[in-house]
Amino acid sequence: MKNVVLMGFMGAGKTTVGKMLAGAEHYQFIDTDEQIEKEQNRKISDIFDQDGEEAFRQMETDYLRKLEAEQRPFVLSIGGGMPVREENRELLRKLGIVVYLEASKETIIQRVSGDVNRPLLQGGSLEEKVTALMNAREAVYLETAHAVLNTDGDTAETVIKKIKDLL
């Protein structure tokens, strides 16, 4: 199996599915949010509060560049905003097979409601925020993906099976 990059909106299941897939394939599991939090020794919400979104986006790009040197195979789960930068889109496609885990707005809202750790979804109407961001991102996800999987109603096991069938 080649490296797998799991891409999708917040709450699409990238981390859950990624961990399980990596475990099953004896690949290392890497989550960009987790790595950035470790490097920075602070939460993403604090990075956004203290340094702003643009600084976080630069950290994401810097981290992807580091990953180019990674020798051991991996399943990578990326933050939902990662593909918004063009240079990231190119880097992601070089790193592995980019799988877009697509989920409906209803599924996403259900999964992220009550979450206080995603700065872009705090305050105001969750539905409006999710709708605006999803609309803005759909095209970049489609442009970046090598493959698109709809995951509505699927268990993590089913999604993993679908990914394996692609590879």
Q: Is 85 in the site for ligand S3P (CB under 6 A)?
A: no
Smallest separation, CB 71 to ligand S3P (Å): 25
| Nearer residue to ligand S3P within complex by CB, 44 or 91 | 44
Q: Is 83 in the site for ligand S3P (CB under 6 A)?
A: no
Is residue 77 within 8 Å of residue 15, measured between CB atoms? yes
User: How far from chain centre, in Å, is Cα 86?
Assistant: 15
Tell me the three state secondary structure of residue 30. strand
Sheet holding 74-77, edge to edge: 28-31, 74-77, 4-7, 97-102, 147-150
Smallest separation, CB 80 to ligand S3P (Å): 3
Is residue 10 within 8 Å of residue 44, measured between CB atoms? no
Q: Is 25 in the site for ligand S3P (CB under 6 A)?
A: no
Q: Is 18 in the site for ligand S3P (CB under 6 A)?
A: no
Q: Is 13 in the site for ligand S3P (CB under 6 A)?
A: no
Q: Give the 3-state DSSP-derived string for 81-96, with helices as H, strands as E and coil as C.
A: CHHHCHHHHHHHHHHC
The b-or-e profile of 11-45 (16+ CB within 10 A means b, else e) is: bbbbbebbebbbeebebebbbbbebbbeebeeebe
Q: Is 6 in the site for ligand S3P (CB under 6 A)?
A: no
Q: Is 80 in the site for ligand S3P (CB under 6 A)?
A: yes
| Nearer residue to ligand S3P within complex by CB, 49 or 90 | 49
Contact positions with ligand S3P (CB under 6 A) in 116-145:
118-120
| Nearer residue to ligand S3P within complex by CB, 44 or 140 | 44
Question: Strand 97-102 relative to strand 147-150: parallel, antiparallel, unpaired?
Answer: parallel
Number of residues in contact with ligand S3P under rule CB under 6 A = 10
Q: Which residues bind ligand S3P (CB under 6 A)?
A: 10, 14, 33, 44, 79-81, 118-120
